[in-house]
Amino acid sequence: MVSETFIKPSAADKRVAKLQELLAQVSGSRGDSRIAPTVAESQSRARAILSELAIPSTKDEEWRFTDLSSLLDINFQLAGPAAVDVFALADSELDETANSRLVFVNGIYVPELSSVAGLPAGVQVGNLSAGNFPEIASYLAQQQGGQEVFTALNTAGLADAAVVWVPANTIIETPIHLVFLTAAGATPVWSQPRALVVAQRGSACTIIEEYAAARGTWCAQEASNCYLTNAVTEIWLAENAQVKHDRIQREATNAFHISKTAVSQAKDSRYTCTAVTSGAKLSRHNLEIFQAGEGTETVLNGLAGISNSQVADAHTAVILNHPHGIVRQLHKCIADGNAHAVFNGKIFVAKAAQLTDASQLNRNLLLSRKAKVDTKPQLEIIADNVKCSHGATVSQLEPQEMFYLQSRGLDPATSRNLLIDGFAGEILAQLSIPALGAKLSRCIACRTDN
Residue 158 class from Cβ within 10 Å (0-12 exposed, 13-18 middle, 19+ buried)? buried
Q: Tell me how far apart the terminal alpha carbons of the chain are, to the nearest angstrom.
A: 61
Tens of pLDDT, residues 26-36:
986 555 555 66
Tell me, what's the pLDDT at 130? 79
Tell me, what's the pLDDT at 1? 38
Strands 77-78 and 189-191: parallel
Is-contact 106 81, C-beta < 8 A? yes
Of 127, 86, 87, which Cα lies nearest the Cα of 104? Answer: 127
pLDDT above 90: percentage of residues in the chain: 73
pLDDT by residue for the chain (450 residues), tens digit each? 334 444 445 667 899 999 999 999 998 655 555 566 667 888 888 999 999 999 999 999 999 999 999 999 999 999 999 877 766 776 788 999 999 999 999 999 999 999 999 999 999 999 988 767 778 878 988 886 657 899 999 999 998 999 999 999 999 999 999 999 999 888 999 999 999 999 999 999 999 999 999 874 555 555 678 999 999 999 999 999 999 999 999 999 999 999 999 999 999 999 999 999 999 999 999 999 999 999 999 999 999 999 999 999 999 999 999 999 999 999 999 999 999 999 999 999 999 999 999 999 999 999 999 999 999 999 999 999 999 999 999 999 888 888 888 889 888 888 888 999 999 999 999 999 999 999 999 888 887 765
Tell me, what's the pLDDT at 223? 64
CA gap 446, 307 in Å, rounded: 10
- The number of beta carbons lying within 10 Å of the beta carbon of residue 429 is 12
CA gap 137, 187 in Å, rounded: 35
Residue 167 class from Cβ within 10 Å (0-12 exposed, 13-18 middle, 19+ buried)? middle
SS3 137: helix
Tell me, what's the pLDDT at 4? 44
Tens of pLDDT, residues 274-307:
999 999 999 999 999 999 999 999 999 999 999 9
Q: What are phi and psi of 79, to 5 degrees?
A: -70, 140
